[in-house]
Structure 1
């Protein structure tokens, strides 16, 4: 479960805006230098390319995803966590607003 309050972090003021503003996040760094984003996904279907490995924790809402090497949609809902391997692609779709925290794990 994700804490409702995050302490001792650095935040980048420039938003990450995707899909004409339908997906928006902000980048943060912990004291140890690890990077994560907090974001919102609005209703729709989206495909994302992944650089570093991503560990996504749902904070609010539910969605369906197709991870690399998968062919079928499967449901995820708060407080589920899912991982996307580095240098891959995944799909997510949702009929509602989803909030998430995404940790980036360098190769």
Structure 2
């Protein structure tokens, strides 16, 4: 996955003592995305805007807030998170990489 003609944020977004790290980009059309890595562990994130999380490498398990059970996602797959919600993402053994798109309502 490549993004051309973007403005990239050099300063990283660092969460959970460095176990989740991302960088933001703004595309030519003004939309924003973040891309990053998740080290093994389990992490909960809240959302303001709806999000699409595309897994670009590795595997993760995801539980959306208010949903029983989790689903597994691997490279090439995605999951959507509603606005004003949240999700728990777990990575077992190797780093998981992702691209997050923010969905305007």
1:88 aligns with 2:85: yes
8 Å contact kept, 2:58–2:75: yes
Cα-to-partner distance string for 1:15-44 (whole Å, 9 max, x where unaligned)? 100000000000001011001001000000
* Partner of residue 73, structure 1: 70
Shift of 1:105: 1.3
TM-score, length of structure 1 as denominator length: 0.93
**Among 92, 102, 105, the residue aligned to 1:104:** 102
Residue 53, structure 1, aligned to residue 50, structure 2: yes
User: Cα RMSD between the aligned structures?
Assistant: 0.9
**TM-score relative to the length of structure 2:** 0.94
- Please point out which of 60, 68, 91 is paired with 1:63: 60
4+ residue segments displaced more than 3 Å = none
Between 70-79 and 58-67, the greater mean CA deviation after superposition? 70-79
Listed as ranges, the gaps of 5+ residues in structure 2 are none
Q: What per-residue deviation string (whole Å, max 9, x for no partner) do you get for residues 36-78 of structure 1?
A: 0010000000000111110010000001010133111221111
